[in-house]
Chains A and B, each alone.
Chain A
């Protein structure tokens, strides 16, 4: 309860800070861009939900129940786009597909000056980019859902004279609904919180408006109120996710995963082609561009000498954040499972909203809470203890926890859901102590989920920028900050080495996660 309150505190602090009425700003927004903002944000969410949803489900279904050339490789490789920060991917997409990029330059050279593509800096460009970078959440979660029972369902359908397609639409997809909902909730929360990518595309949403009002109109209270709108959007997402989960049956089927559907040769290669195309655009393309730019940067001699310490710093803070965040997520998920307190559940739901709030807004919430705690401690001890604020590492880790606890909570929750209460009961009936149940039943069954949750958090922290910028300790440099400093003056070639380092580290972790996950079948 206390923990949930602590993690939820910054979100609540923003809400409290937003209480002062700012009718005048709202009236101005209402008269000017509010309608277009709401429309932009809503259609972005719908577009990304469709894009990431279709890609994730299609790939999850292909991989889970079909056999085709390269399946084993694609099973883990398709998760790799998670390693790429959305803002870096957005820039690569623009650099590649823009009017001045290689694709359109080539088209003009071969087919005359009139040739070209529709403008990438458009609604479709943003939706395409975000779908490609966020689909792995849906893919990861639906794939394991399909893997658990997909093949059984297909065979059952066959015995009733129905095609695999019917099995998918009538059985597998409805049964995978909770997994799809969780995956989409994560993807859409990321979409809501994003500022870097949409600004690169000059696409205005509520999150960019938080900045516009905060720094352009210099009104932090009104900015917090707009952040509250974001929080409401996120709350709607979380509620939808819960609703989709509510009537879900959480049984574990015992399907042997070696059997898969055999299809015709043409279809097999088509499956390979689809996977290769997605992986190519979502990972190979950006990785290749970064490698080329890094090579140019090395040749130009603009690579900083401090990389070992940068990588060390980044990894250290990411690991520390993962330990704390996953610990918090485990405690929250366990208490939610044990206690059926409505107040606790509400608080936990608020704590999860941090995932949908832009990092800088979370950072301000954290600073508000810490300076409040500082003042209380100061009043209690009679002297102002400089500890909480000045040791910003604490503040930073706190911010990461608030921002990413949802990313750890969902896998842990999914892992816990697989442990049916019947198991606890049978263990107890056999005379096991609660501690022994934890150690010998829960721990082994949860291990995969914990690894998955930790790696998700580590990868998120590797990519995190705005909160880090605002509250990092003096002189503390991470890879993402280095990327920002280089891109500040549009020095994209120079920004490539740290970007590449983030992608490589993230890809190694993600690859390791999914490969061990596939072996232990312990993914969420």
Chain B
């Protein structure tokens, strides 16, 4: 072995590196809630700081994207250190519950603060905020009277003028799933085929779609509302406006970010306490002002910037439907050739 002379030293070095890394794994666990989160905490830190100040319970985060957090939770099983799962999109929460990663929580506070259609029928997860996925348009080039439903974006007049995220984006999978729950599979496939026939410009990012629209690359598109709110907060002259879709029919698609207590939570009580706190008016106000989502607690007013978006009629199907139809939605997108 060419490394013979050094191999002992190198092994020692590697062992030291290992020891140093493993050392930071062991943090004291008492009075700490461990949250696996796929919801970026940047900007939302204030609400967790406020929780710690109010209760003395520390909050530790482990972050990853939705899929990775779920896979990790699954592979850790009962050894997991997670007490709470915090994620975006009802589809993800539904999957977590479906795979037995969460546990039911009976809490008067939660059921009082969060309306029934924004939580799991089995009380395994609860919304902490809502987001609206709707039609966006450039008011310099489109009159709002030209817009009506998601389906109407398949009208030939939008050929080459439509920006879409690919169907790999979970937000679109949930939108399609909710449309399946409302209109059935066949009608939803027709809607998607209409979009695809208009040769949409595929851009994999809501913010990028809005920027492209403002610059004139396309005239209409579908994004979540808070991406627009964030851009408008930086530049109020941005030439993009929201249009609430399907107001004459089933209502606009609403999704959630939310959380639940993990099945193998070590600090169940503290996790429930955190979840309850997140739905209180105080916490909802902090959350809403940092992320531009709509509060899940109907008693709390949204951020003033959202007031100018106006009010809307939301889909009445519970957000849980998104999860139940997700796999169908993906197949439907494949069939309709929606990239």
A contacts, CB < 8 Å to B: 28-29, 31-33, 94, 98-100, 105, 113, 119, 121, 199-202, 204, 208, 211-212, 214-219, 313, 316-317, 319-320, 323-324, 327, 330, 334, 360, 364, 367, 371, 386, 389-394, 397, 435, 438-439, 442-443, 446-447, 450, 466, 469-471, 473-476, 481, 484-486, 488-491, 494
Rounded to whole angstroms, the CA-CA distance of A34 and B64 in the bound complex is: 30
Partner of A389, one of B10, B21, B79: B79
Give the most central of B5, B22, B60: most A CB within 10 Å.
B22
For window 63-88 of B, CB contacts with A under 8 Å fall at: 63-68, 71-72, 75-76, 79, 81
What residue in chain A is nearest B7 (Cβ atoms)?
A327
Closest chain A CB from B75 CB (angstroms):
5
User: Can you give 20 contacting A-B residue pairs, CB < 8 Å?
Assistant: A100-B211, A113-B216, A119-B201, A202-B166, A202-B202, A317-B17, A320-B21, A330-B1, A334-B1, A360-B71, A367-B75, A442-B2, A470-B71, A475-B62, A476-B24, A476-B25, A481-B63, A488-B40, A490-B227, A494-B42
A200 touches B327 (CB 8 A): no
Contact of A202 among B2, B63, B203 (CB under 8 A): B203
Q: Within 8 Å CB of B72, what residues of A?
A: 470-471
User: Is the pair A323, B95 in contact by a Cβ cutoff of 8 Å?
Assistant: no
A316 nearest in chain B by CB position: B17
Q: A215-B67, A367-B75 are in contact. Are A100 and B215 (CB under 8 A)?
A: yes
- Residue of A32, A201, A313, A486 most packed against chain B (CB within 10 A): A32
Interface centre among B18, B68, B72 (most CB of A within 10 A): B68
Against A, the Cβ 8 Å flags (1 = close, 0 = not) of B35-66 are 00010101000000000000000001011111
A200 to B326 alpha-carbon distance, docked (Å): 22
Selected from B18, B40, B62, B214, the residue in CB contact (under 8 A) with A489 is B40
Tell me if B27 counts as interface (CB < 8 A to partner A).
yes
B227 partner residues in chain A, CB cutoff 8 A: 490
Partner of B21, one of A94, A364, A476: A476
Report, as a range, how many residues of chain B touch the other chain. Answer: 35 or more
Contact of B75 among A211, A371, A450, A475 (CB under 8 A): A371
Measured CA separation A119–B200 after assembly (Å)? 13
CB-based contact B168/A439 at 8 Å: no
Residue pair A485, B4 in contact (C-beta under 8 Å): no
A488 and B69 CA atoms in complex are apart in Å by: 14
Contact A99 B42 (CB under 8 A): no
Query: Which residues from chain B contact A489 at a C-beta distance below 8 Å?
Result: 40, 42
User: Which residues of the other chain, B, contact A218 by a CB distance below 8 angstroms?
Assistant: 95, 326-327
- Chain B residues with CB below 8 A from A486, complex form: 42
Q: Is B190 an interface residue (CB 8 A)?
A: no
Least CB distance, B338 to chain A, in whole angstroms: 10
Whole-angstrom CA separation of A485 from B68 in the bound complex:
13
In the complex, B307 has a CB within 8 A of chain A: no
A330 to B1, CA, bound (A): 9
Q: Most A CB atoms within 10 A — which of B206, B334, B335?
A: B334
Check B183 for interface membership: any CB of A closer than 8 A.
Answer: no
- Judge whether B62 and A474 touch: CB under 8 Å: yes
Beta-carbon contact of B21 and A313 below 8 Å: yes
Residue contact A327 to B68, C-beta cutoff 8 Å = no
Q: Do B24 and A475 touch (CB < 8 A)?
A: yes
Minimum CB distance partner of A33 in chain B: B334
Q: How far is the CB of A176 from chain B (nearest CB, A)?
A: 27
Distance from A239 Cβ to chain B, minimum over Cβ atoms (Å): 29
How far is it, in angstroms, between the C-alpha of A32 and the C-alpha of B335 when the chains are bound? Answer: 5
Q: A202-B166, A439-B2 are in contact. Are A105 and B215 (CB under 8 A)?
A: yes
Residue in A closest to B164 when the chains form the complex, CB atoms: A202
Other-chain contact of B64, A320, A439, A470, A475 (Cβ < 8 Å): A470
Contact in complex: A320, B5 (CB < 8 Å): no
Complex Cα spacing A439 to B5, Å: 9
Most buried by B among A113, A202, A317, A371: A202
A111 to B330, CA, bound (A): 42
Q: A32-B334, A202-B202, A217-B330 are in contact. Are A393 and B81 (CB under 8 A)?
A: no
- Would you call B138 an interface residue if the criterion is a C-beta within 8 Å of the partner chain's C-beta atoms? no
B335 CB, min distance to chain A CBs, angstroms: 6
Nearest Cβ on chain B to A311's Cβ, whole angstroms: 14
By a CB distance below 8 angstroms, the chain B residues around A217 are 327, 330-331
Taken together as a complex, chains A and B put the C-alpha atoms of A475 and B334 apart, in Å, by 38
Closest to B19 in A: A393
| Cα separation A34 to B49 with both chains bound (whole Å) | 49
Q: Which chain A positions have C-beta within 8 A of B170?
A: 215-216
1/0 per position for B90-113, CB-CB distance to A under 8 A?
000001000000000000000000
Let me know if B208 is at the binding interface, CB within 8 A.
Answer: yes
Which residues of the partner chain A approach B27 to less than 8 Å between Cβ atoms? 475
- Please encode chain B, from 14 to 32, with 1 for each CB lying within 8 Å of some chain A CB and 0 for all others: 1001101110110100000
Do residues B68 and A470 form an inter-chain contact, with CB atoms below 8 A? yes
Q: Tell me the complex Cα distance, A412–B247, Å.
A: 65
Give the Cβ gap from B20 to chain A, nearest Cβ, in Å.
6
Q: Is the CB of A214 within 8 A of B67?
A: yes
B2 pairs with A443, CB closer than 8 A: yes
A320 to B10, CA, bound (A): 9
Q: How far is the CA of A121 from the CA of B202 in the complex (A)?
A: 8
Residues A330 and B334 in contact, CB atoms below 8 Å apart: no
Q: Contacts A28-B331, A208-B168 given: A469-B65 contact, CB under 8 Å?
A: yes
Q: Verify A484–B21 contact, CB threshold 8 A.
A: no
Whether, in the assembled complex, B204 has its beta carbon less than 8 Å from a beta carbon of chain A, the answer is: yes
Q: Closest A residue to B95 by CB, please name it.
A: A218
Beyond the given pairs A323-B14, A330-B2, 15 more chain A to chain B contacts, judged by CB atoms under 8 angstroms and listed by A's residue number, are A31-B335, A32-B334, A121-B203, A327-B7, A367-B75, A389-B75, A391-B22, A392-B25, A469-B68, A470-B64, A470-B72, A474-B34, A481-B63, A484-B65, A486-B42
- Interchain CB contact under 8 A, B204 and A485: no
**By the criterion CB–CB under 8 Å, are B21 and A316 in contact?**
yes
Min distance, Cβ A417 to any Cβ of chain B, angstroms: 15
Query: B21 near A393 (CB under 8 angstroms)?
Result: yes
Question: When the two chains form their complex, are residues B21 and A200 in contact, meaning their CB atoms are under 8 A apart?
Answer: no
Which of A99, A119, A360, A474 has the most chain B CB within a 10 Å cutoff? Answer: A474
- CB closest chain-A residue, reference B334: A32
Contact A393 B204 (CB under 8 A): no
CA distance A324 to B15 in the complex (A): 11
Chain A residue nearest to B214 in the complex (CB)? A100
Least Cβ distance of A304 to chain B in Å?
A: 9
Q: In the complex, what's the smallest C-beta–C-beta distance from B208 to chain A, in angstroms?
A: 7
User: A474 contacts B81, CB within 8 Å?
Assistant: yes
Contacts of A216 in B (CB 8 A): 168, 170, 173, 326-327, 330
CB distance from B76 to the nearest CB of A (A): 7
B207-262 CB contacts (< 8 Å) to partner A: 207-208, 211-212, 214-217, 227
User: Within the complex, which residue of A199, A469, A476, A485 is in contact with B168, where a contact is CB–CB below 8 Å?
Assistant: A199
Query: Is B305 in contact with chain A by the CB < 8 A criterion?
Result: no
The answer on a CB contact under 8 Å between B168 and A320 is: no
User: Could you tell me if B204 and A200 are in contact, using CB atoms closer than 8 angstroms?
Assistant: yes
Chain B residues with Cβ below 8 Å from A33 are 334, 337
In the A-B complex, list the 3 residue pairs whose CB atoms are closest, starting with the nearest: A32-B334, A443-B2, A216-B330
